[in-house]
Amino acid sequence: MTRPAPLSATVVVCTRDRPVMLARLLASLQEHVPDVDVLVVDSASATVETREVAAAAGVPLLRLERPGLSIARNAGVQAASGDVVVFTDDDCLVRDRWLDPLVAPFADPRVGVVTGEMVDLAASDSVPSERQHPDFRRTVQGLDLGHGANMAFRRSAVLDVGGFDERLGAGTDLAGAEDLDMFCRLLHAGWTGKRTSHSRIIHAHVRQGAEHTRLIRGYARGSGAALAKWLRIDRTVATDIATVQLRRLARQSARALRRPAQRQLVLAHAAGLVSGFIQATRMPVTDGVFVPAPAPISAGGSQEPVPRLIPLRPVEERFLRTPPGQPEQVTTALYVTDGVGMRLDDGQLDTAGIHRHITAWGHSNPHLMLQLATTWHGLTPPVWVTAAGVPGSAIDVWPQPVPAADVDDVAAALQLAPLDVTALGWHVTVLDDPAGPVAFVIRGHHAWTDGAMGLRVLSTLTAPEARPLGELPVHTAPPGPSGPVALPLALLRRWWGRQPGPSAAVRSWRAKPLAGRVRRVLGRHRWNMTLARHLDDRQATVQRAFTRIELPLTEVRSHAKACGGNINELLVVATAHALRATTTTTGSKSAEGQQVTVPMSDRGNETSDAGNRVRVVPVTVDVTADPATAVPDVRRQLRAKELPAPEPCRAHATTMLGPRTNAFLGEAKVEEWALLPSLGHDEEFGVLGLVLRSTLVVAVATSRPADLDSFSRTLVDLLRGGSATADAAS
């Protein structure tokens, strides 16, 4: 029997504008748990000091543009590489033997959350209690499970329940209880909670006076809001929670009669509970969380200075230089809606309303308002700049009706159509089925976005509730610089502003070889000269076929877990077996090993920039071994610190996390959606798994249409626990 792979952990620190405290915490982590992976999530700090502290400590940083502790926690869970995600606060310090007691209980597959103790600095040398806490199983017990400064979660469990509630926690007007809310929701979903006295965190910053009163009021507002939410989820649970809250308030009030100094805190607690409860009764709830508030947008349409100016890196310039007759690499999403609210009284498609809605969507997000600007001389790189508006050419309707059965074929054909990135980096094609459904094919050029950023942008196109077409905020921003003089000057000012001083600027300029600069300039010049021909005269000389399969998420996840890995690692192994099953002896690398490349997000702190932030990890899969052996080996290769250089490969596979709630495009419900894999010039198959609330949507693209069915059958059989040996032999 194969021993389960040891659990890995990622420590996530969410912080905002507290660089001194963050530096102390990172130093204590490096001293006492030097081998653990640490991720800092910057929750929209106003200065660059947080980034500098993380860089000095050698810790990766994920920069967010929206404040909010729950938003930061969710981003940390998504970005974490470990099976267990451990949270601590930036105003804490760790000591030896802090981490192991938090992670060890997760060896029990029923455990979803473990918490430790928190002590003040004055009590940091006291002997830990030997008290053995009973398991936490009832939902209401989540109120006593622990504190957000010292808690660990099974990553898959947090994703299963939809993540932290982003309307709760610091940085929001309901500034607390996001940790207790998550504890309760996990217990309600059937997970077990544990609390250990052997893991202790030192709380080094104690609030006093008015600051402490505001903290208590914020915590209470979050608790009152959580109670209002549970009234709509489960009234029995809500009754239990209300009973506990009222008993605690009564005890605090009794103590305040004997200690007048505590009266202000009790009043703040009571006022917070009532005000949070009242506010939450007007907030919609879906899948156990409050519907997230829309992202705040400044008068200029962006949270960043506008117009934007983002030079392309060399890897993104290469995405632009597609040879004539070859497909450009694009990130493509397919939405299939029920068509409600998208037709006029006579049954015809409301093209004006759809155009208005997508145009408003484009103006609502600064990332969508980017077009490519170039100079004829090629002395400066192409640049993404703010466009003056969404051109009509960015949205079109497929000229013929498209029955639901033909949607995948049209989407595959659209992947071969060129994108005019000088207009915008994206394009939307509407497919109309006279029987009712309306589909949307949304393409984004790889020089403009990658899958992770594409999902983030796409999330703003839909809403968790139905609303009329076009009801989106529309903001305009001044267009960016253009022309052979204005654009280079703007780039020069941008580059100079990022240099520490003149000597550093000289070193930066000399660091790049002159020969490489000349080659890039000549390449830009050739691309500029042939751009019109690329858009007008190019005919694709390759074939593409595409299919998508929906699988039960719990079934695939259980099989992956039984094999000692996660869905992504199982998908890579299944892809290798499917590749072998459709491979002739010619061109096969070896009988035992099949190489598959795995694209992985590498955005770091560049979460809001245009461009492609993906690193490609080559993985060799032993297709003669059973999945229980191959999956842990793939996990080891993906987590290796030193990665081999990627080689030309015939297939790639990866998994992404999609929305966990219902989605509406206008009044139409999105009934199906998928992300289409984009094939490189040397690739024959691409596999992309999209994890939704209860399904795994597996999309397969190929340049060998005749082998699509056999490849897909083998892939699906392996994902569902079928025999790899039998499939390979057949």
Condensed to tens digits (0 to 9), the pLDDT of residues 167-184 reads 898 888 788 889 999 999
The C-alpha atoms of residue 384 and residue 361 are separated, in whole angstroms, by: 19
**Percent above pLDDT 90 for the chain:** 26
CB-CB neighbours of 132 under 10 Å: 8
DSSP assignment letter at 653: E
The stretch 692-715 carries a mean pLDDT of: 90
Find out whether 673 and 697 touch, Cβ atoms under 8 Å. yes
What Cα–Cα distance (Å) separates residue 274 from each residue in 279, 283, 371?
A: 9, 15, 49
When pLDDT is cut at 50, 70 and 90, the band that residue 473 belongs to is low
When pLDDT is cut at 50, 70 and 90, the band that residue 190 belongs to is very high
Contacts (Cβ under 8 Å, ≥6 apart) of 88: 11, 13, 25, 94, 149, 150, 201
Tokens 């793939």 belong to residue: 634
Phi first, then psi: give them for residue 105, nearest 5 degrees. Answer: -60, -15
Among the listed residues 311, 372, 314, 315, the one whose alpha carbon sits nearest the alpha carbon of residue 495:
311
Q: Which helix (H) or strand (E) holds 460?
A: none
Residue 242 burial class via C-beta count within 10 angstroms: exposed 0-12, middle 13-18, buried 19 and up: middle
Among the listed residues 48, 56, 55, 54, the one whose alpha carbon sits nearest the alpha carbon of residue 14:
54
Question: Looking at 433-564, which runs of residues are DSSP E strands?
Answer: 438-445, 545-552
The stretch 65-90 carries a mean pLDDT of: 91
The stretch 655-659 carries a mean pLDDT of: 83
Omega before 403 cis (within 30°)?
no
The C-alpha atoms of residue 693 and residue 317 are separated, in whole angstroms, by: 36
**Percent above pLDDT 70 for the chain:** 83
Mean pLDDT of the residues in the chain: 81
DSSP assignment letter at 400: S
pLDDT of residue 243: 92
Find out whether 696 and 675 touch, Cβ atoms under 8 Å. no
Say whether pLDDT at 21 is over 80: yes
Comparing 332-346, 596-610, 651-665, the range with the smallest average pLDDT is 596-610
Find out whether 301 and 475 touch, Cβ atoms under 8 Å. yes
When pLDDT is cut at 50, 70 and 90, the band that residue 513 belongs to is confident
| Residues forming a β-bridge with 406 | none
Find out whether 78 and 452 touch, Cβ atoms under 8 Å. no
Say whether pLDDT at 134 is over 60: yes
Contacts (Cβ under 8 Å, ≥6 apart) of 519: none
Record the tokens describing residue 90, joined without a space. Answer: 């930036």
Contacts (Cβ under 8 Å, ≥6 apart) of 704: 545, 582, 684, 685
The stretch 507-514 carries a mean pLDDT of: 74
Read off the pLDDT of residues 236-288 as tens digits, 9 standing for 90 and up.
999 999 999 889 888 888 887 777 667 778 888 888 888 889 888 878 888 78
- CA 559 from centre of chain: 24
Say whether pLDDT at 103 is over 80: yes
3 state DSSP class of 237: helix
pLDDT of residue 58: 87
Kindly give the interhelix angle for 209-233 and 178-188, rounded to the nearest 10 degrees: 30
The stretch 510-527 carries a mean pLDDT of: 72
Tokens 């051109």 belong to residue: 391
Find out whether 366 and 302 touch, Cβ atoms under 8 Å. yes
Find out whether 332 and 442 touch, Cβ atoms under 8 Å. yes
Contacts (Cβ under 8 Å, ≥6 apart) of 206: 120, 121
> Pick the residue with more confidence: 479 or 43?
43
Say whether pLDDT at 531 is over 70: no
Contacts (Cβ under 8 Å, ≥6 apart) of 588: 580
3 state DSSP class of 205: coil
Q: Per residue in 211-222, is it b (16+ CB within 10 Å) or e — as a string?
A: eebebbbbbbbb
Record the tokens describing residue 244, joined without a space. Answer: 């506990």
pLDDT of residue 551: 93
Omega before 632 cis (within 30°)?
no
Read off the pLDDT of residues 2-18 as tens digits, 9 standing for 90 and up.
455 568 899 999 999 88
Record the tokens describing residue 624, joined without a space. Answer: 């003669």
Among the listed residues 18, 71, 21, 72, the one whose alpha carbon sits nearest the alpha carbon of residue 45:
18
DSSP assignment letter at 346: T
When pLDDT is cut at 50, 70 and 90, the band that residue 603 belongs to is low
Residue 511 burial class via C-beta count within 10 angstroms: exposed 0-12, middle 13-18, buried 19 and up: exposed
pLDDT of residue 207: 67
Kindly give the interhelix angle for 69-79 and 178-188, rounded to the nearest 10 degrees: 50
The stretch 305-330 carries a mean pLDDT of: 67
pLDDT of residue 45: 84
Comparing 120-129, 403-412, 618-627, the range with the smallest average pLDDT is 120-129
Q: Which alpha helices (DSSP H) does 65-109 contain, by range?
A: 69-79, 100-103
> Pick the residue with more confidence: 294 or 342?
342
